[in-house]
Structure formats: C-alpha cells, structure tokens
C-alpha cells in the first residue's frame, strides 16, 4: 500500500446519491458537480451506472472529458453487459476505475440472486477479469457485506484479489451495523487481506450510523471511504463526505496522521451546488453544512464565542469555506451580541440608550423568531425619536 495514513475519498453523489428519490440529475448538472468534486479534491468520482440508462452512459463519457485529476469510476453489476458498458463509458478517462459488485449475504444470494455461494464467487471472478481488460484499477464490492458471513467474505475476497481486484469494498448496504461491529468486521478483513488490496467501506445511514461506522472502519484499517455530499443516497442516505472528512480533521488527535486529499474550504460551495441542483436542502441542524451548523443564538454562547471562538466551536466556519460564523439575534441573545451588532451597523449608543434599546429588542424578540439587521435599524430609529 502506498501510504498507510492516506485515506482515499470516493464520492458517489452522482451514483448512490442520485438514487435518493427526487435527486435525478441531467448530464450538464452532473458535469458541474463532477467539476466541483475534482476541485474539492476527491480521489474517485463514481460518475454513474453506465448500464442503467443511455443518459447515465452519456453523462459518464462527458464527465471523463472534463475530469483529469480525480479517477472517474463507473459502476457495473457482475455481468458482462454491464462491465462492457462501464468500460466503454470510461474510454476517454485519464484515470479510470470499474466498480463491480455482487451480493454476498445469505438473504440476497438465496432470495434475490437465487445463486449458490460457489456461483456467486464464479461470477465475481469473471466480472473482475473482464473489468481488468479495460483498466488495471478494479474495485469489487460485496453487496450487503454487513450481513454476510465472515468465512464467505474472506473466500470471495481471496478469489477476486487473485483475479486482479485492487480495491475491496465492504458495504453496509442496509445500514444495519453498529460502529463497534463495523470496526470489528473491517479489522478482521484488513488482517486477512493485508497488503494485497485496499479495503474500502461504504455505509448507509438507516440507523443514523453511516458516518460513525465509516470512522470506526478507518480506525480499523479501511483506507477508502465511500460517501456523498450532504449524505444523499438510497433511503436514509450514505455517509456524508463533509462529516467524515471534518471528523478526521477535527479529531486528528485520534486519527493520528490520517490524511485525505480534500480541500475543506471547498466543502460548503460543493454542498450548496449539490443542494441547488438536486433541490434537496440539508436540514438546518445538519452537521457541517446545515444553515445552523455555525450559528449561535443563545446569549451565553454568543458571549463565549465573541470572547474566544473555541468556547463553543470545535471547528470554524472558514474551515469549510464559509465567510464567517453567524451570530443570530433572537430572544435568547444577550447584550454583548446585541451591542456588537449595533456597532457593526454603525450605531454608537450611550450606555443608557443601549439599555433602553436592549429592552425594546427583547420585547420584539418575543414576537419574532429571528431579529434581522433591518429590524434593528427600525428599532433604533424609533428609539432615537422616543429617547
């Protein structure tokens, strides 16, 4: 392995993210997002599922024309037709990867695939070998690995390594695992695979644990994390890229020496672009990119951050590409924040006038969810005529 401390960020906003109901994107929109993902510094952009539709195929081809630093990846089931289409969609890519997958859990093999475990291994090996005729960079995923049996996972991984797979992805497809369990699975598989391939993790968020599961996986040897911007994805979504990256950066004390290639200052612009294109707005209290993630409303918190930002901030708005944090004036706000806002708006009141204005502000704040700058201007204009 090149560098044991480097965690590769594999973004699947354009593939798994697009599987969010209502998130379909056209080719031009996908090109805009792919260009921004490259600027963000993601290592691999999963551009789509070539065999899914002619539109998907075309979008992958067009993305290959504009992306030259990140690797462009195309998804394929472990069937010849899919792999050939994936390979053809990547023909013009500077750096290309085929990502092929087949389910490995008893429930999927029996009820969905109706295939024996031996047949699943045969198909996986054939898929990887065919993919290798298009590119050296082949990723294999054990779909529903989170509910697969460990001896079978080891057996199929050995077989696909032998066939040429260079990245082995362990998806928790239905978001079932708890962080310690996911960590233990990755630790055991990492120990088994050793230096033969990179272990990747792909966690879904059905129990709200996708990011925690991804982080525990990194702690236990995963060196690629698959994730999406704003946590978009099938059902409850995928691990949110911004949360995984900022957790590893902010808690560098725990993730000793772990590095990604992400330019975190591009996180916010990327989040906004994806929200604007998909029409899916992150919830206001969403970690890192939600509207309130760097907003302070209570007087105690505002007073704290105005004196020393670190009192209530473990990272700064500027780190993710926002201009600044937000001091929101509302009924919980205190005198310190109110005075600062008045000064920023150019008002210099005597202590007595400030007291009166603050009283009026509190009365107004009881009636409104948020006090905006124009409310303050109005309040002071009235105050000055009444004083």
Q: What does the block give as tokens for 263?
A: 């330019």
Q: Considering Cα of 138, then 144, then 148, then 150, what sign does the dihedral take? A: positive
Nearer to ligand KIV (CB atom), residue 179 or residue 269: 179
Binding mask 9-28 for Zn ion (x = CB under 5 A): -------x------------
Query: Is the CB of residue 227 less than 8 Å from the CB of residue 11?
Result: yes
Task: Specify the stretch interacting with ligand KIV by CB under 6 A; choose among 169-177, 267-275, 285-293, 317-325.
Answer: 169-177
- The one of ligand KIV, Zn ion, none whose footprint includes residue 141, by CB under 5 to 8 A per kind, is ligand KIV
* Dist. CA 53–CA 39, nearest whole Å: 27
Residue selected from 173, 200, 228, 230 as contacting ligand KIV according to rule CB under 6 A = 173
Query: Is the CB of residue 230 less than 8 Å from the CB of residue 11?
Result: no
Assess 139 for contact with Zn ion (CB under 5 A).
Answer: no
Concatenated DSSP letters of 146-182: GGS-HHHHHHHHHHHHHHT--EEEEEETTS---HHHH
Nearer to ligand KIV (CB atom), residue 49 or residue 216: 49
**C-alpha of 80 from chain center:** 30
Q: How many residues bind Zn ion (CB under 5 A)?
A: 1
* Dist. CA 327–CA 302, nearest whole Å: 7
User: By CB under 6 A, what part of segment 203-242 binds ligand KIV?
Assistant: 204
204 annotated ligand-binding residue: yes
Query: Is the CB of residue 61 less than 8 Å from the CB of residue 77?
Result: no
Determine the length of the chain: 387
205 annotated ligand-binding residue: no
Residue selected from 87, 171, 221, 282 as contacting ligand KIV according to rule CB under 6 A = 171
Cβ at position 62, least distance to ligand KIV in Å: 22
Residue from 202, 248, 250 nearest 44 by CA: 202
Residue selected from 43, 56, 143, 242 as contacting ligand KIV according to rule CB under 6 A = 143
Positions at the binding site for Mn(2+): 16, 202, 204, 238
Site for ligand KIV, rule CB under 6 A: 16, 101, 141, 143, 169, 171, 173, 202, 204
């Amino acid at each position: 392995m090149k560098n044991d401390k480097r965690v590769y960020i594999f973004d699947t906003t354009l593939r798994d993210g697009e599987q969010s109901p209502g998130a379909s994107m056209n080719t031009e929109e996908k090109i805009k997002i792919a260009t921004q993902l490259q600027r963000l510094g993601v290592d691999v952009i999963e551009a789509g599922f070539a065999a899914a539709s002619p539109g998907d195929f075309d979008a992958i081809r067009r993305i290959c024309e504009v992306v030259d630093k990140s690797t462009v990846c195309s998804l394929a089931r472990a069937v010849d037709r899919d792999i050939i289409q994936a390979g053809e969609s990547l023909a013009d890519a500077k750096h290309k990867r085929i990502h092929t997958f087949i389910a490995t859990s008893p429930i999927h093999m029996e009820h969905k695939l109706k295939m024996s475990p031996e047949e699943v291994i045969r198909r996986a090996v054939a898929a990887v070998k065919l993919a290798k005729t298009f590119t050296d960079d082949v990723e294999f995923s054990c779909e529903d690995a989170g509910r697969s049996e460990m001896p079978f996972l080891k057996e199929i991984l050995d077989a696909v390594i032998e066939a040429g797979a260079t990245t082995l992805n362990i998806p928790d497809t239905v978001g079932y695992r708890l962080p310690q369990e996911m960590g233990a699975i990755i630790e055991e598989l990492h120990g088994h695979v050793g230096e033969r391939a990179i272990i990747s993790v792909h966690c879904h968020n059905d129990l709200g644990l996708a990011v925690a599961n991804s982080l525990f996986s990194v702690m236990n040897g995963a060196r690629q994390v698959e994730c999406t911007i704003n946590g978009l994805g099938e059902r409850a979504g995928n691990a949110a890229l911004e949360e995984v990256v900022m957790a590893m950066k902010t808690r560098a004390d725990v993730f000793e020496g772990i590095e990604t290639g992400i330019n975190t200052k591009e996180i916010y612009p990327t989040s906004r672009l994806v929200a604007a294109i998909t029409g899916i707005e992150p919830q206001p209290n969403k970690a890192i990119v939600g509207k309130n993630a760097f907003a302070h409303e209570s007087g105690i918190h505002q007073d704290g951050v105005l004196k020393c930002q670190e009192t209530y901030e473990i990272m700064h708005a500027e780190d993710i590409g926002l201009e600044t944090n937000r001091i929101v004036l509302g009924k919980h706000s205190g005198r310190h924040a109110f005075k600062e806002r008045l000064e920023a708006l150019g008002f210099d009141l005597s202590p007595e006038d400030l007291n009166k204005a603050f009283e009026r502000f509190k009365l107004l704040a009881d009636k409104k969810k948020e006090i905006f700058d124009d409310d303050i201007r109005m309040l002071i204009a009235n105050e000055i005529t009444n004083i």
